[in-house]
């Protein structure tokens, strides 16, 4: 068993070193990168579409889409007005810093203000792999249920901001917001949160403003 653990640590070490190189490359080009994570269907692609439509009015945006299969998400991001790169991970349940390096090779970072990375739909694996992004963002969604912070603590612990999507569905599902927020606060005190609906647009202004402030 100890041999197996040693190999895993070595992989993680290599990934972290490459993530630091990715970050340096972004900083030299003056690009902000955010890494968006969520379970399947929480609304990553919808949030990115909305964000690109709004911010592409005056910013150049690249979207790197990670999926096990298909190019559906990159096509949606491109239609919204972004430079889009699709990464199909095959069976892998997360993006890693090597994949990100390959994606950056396909983008002229000097022409870009903001890179939005859409990680693979998963609440477990992506938490363990740094990509080099400046901010890690998690999307929770109301119909997923209020117990997710308790059940996926590593993901909630490691992020810099939380988008709570599909608030338009609150009248139709059981979701105890106090219970949810207590779980979040225990794992990640003071975490910046954005309750939104990507369907109606409610709450998105605060999210756009936060991003604009980061870009400066």
26 versus 155: smaller Cβ distance to a second copy: 155
Q: What minimum distance in Å lies between the beta carbon of 95 and a second copy? A: 13
Closer CB to a second copy, 143 or 203, in the complex: 143
- We find the least distance from the C-beta atom of residue 71 to a second copy, in angstroms, to be 10
Q: Count the helix, strand and coil residues of the chain and give each as a percent rounded to the nearest 5.
A: 50, 20, 30
CB of 41 to a second copy, least distance (A): 3
Q: Are 53 and 77 in contact (CB under 8 A)?
A: no
- Comparing CB distances to a second copy, the nearer of 173 and 206 is 173
Name the site residues for a second copy (rule: CB under 8 A).
Answer: 39-41, 67-70, 72, 91, 93, 120-125, 128, 141, 143-145, 147-148, 150-154, 166, 168-169, 172-174, 199
CB of 28 to a second copy, least distance (A): 31
Comparing CB distances to a second copy, the nearer of 83 and 148 is: 148
- By C-beta, is 90 or 190 nearer to a second copy? 90
Q: How far is the CB of 93 from a second copy (least distance, A)?
A: 4
Give the Å distances, CA to CA, from 26 to 32, 120, 133: 7, 21, 8
Alpha helices in the chain (DSSP H): 2-29, 44-55, 72-80, 97-105, 148-151, 153-157, 177-187, 204-215
Strands of the sheet with 83-88, listed across from one edge: 83-88, 61-67, 114-118, 32-38, 135-141, 161-165, 192-195
CB 194 within 8 A of CB 210: yes
């Amino acid at each position: 068993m100890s041999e197996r653990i040693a190999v895993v640590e070595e992989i993680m070490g290599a990934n972290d070193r490459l993530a630091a190189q990715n970050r340096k490359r972004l900083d030299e080009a003056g690009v902000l990168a955010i890494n968006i994570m969520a379970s399947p269907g929480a609304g990553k692609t919808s949030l990115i579409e909305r964000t690109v439509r709004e911010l592409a009015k005056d910013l150049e945006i690249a979207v790197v889409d990670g999926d096990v299969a298909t190019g559906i998400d990159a096509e949606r991001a491109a239609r919204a007005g972004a430079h889009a790169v699709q990464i199909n991970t095959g069976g892998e349940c997360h993006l890693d810093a090597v994949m990100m390096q390959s994606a950056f090779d396909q983008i002229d970072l000097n022409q870009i203000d903001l890179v939005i990375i859409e990680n693979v739909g998963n609440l477990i694996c992506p938490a363990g792999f740094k990509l080099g992004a400046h901010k890690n963002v998690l999307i929770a969604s109301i119909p997923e249920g209020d117990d997710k912070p308790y059940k996926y603590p590593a993901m909630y612990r490691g992020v810099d901001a939380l988008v709570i999507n599909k608030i338009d569905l609150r009248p139709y599902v059981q979701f105890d917001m106090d219970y949810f927020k207590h779980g979040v606060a225990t794992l990640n005190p003071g975490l910046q949160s954005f309750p939104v609906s990507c369907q109606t647009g409610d709450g998105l202004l605060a999210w756009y403003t936060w991003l604009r402030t980061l870009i400066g």
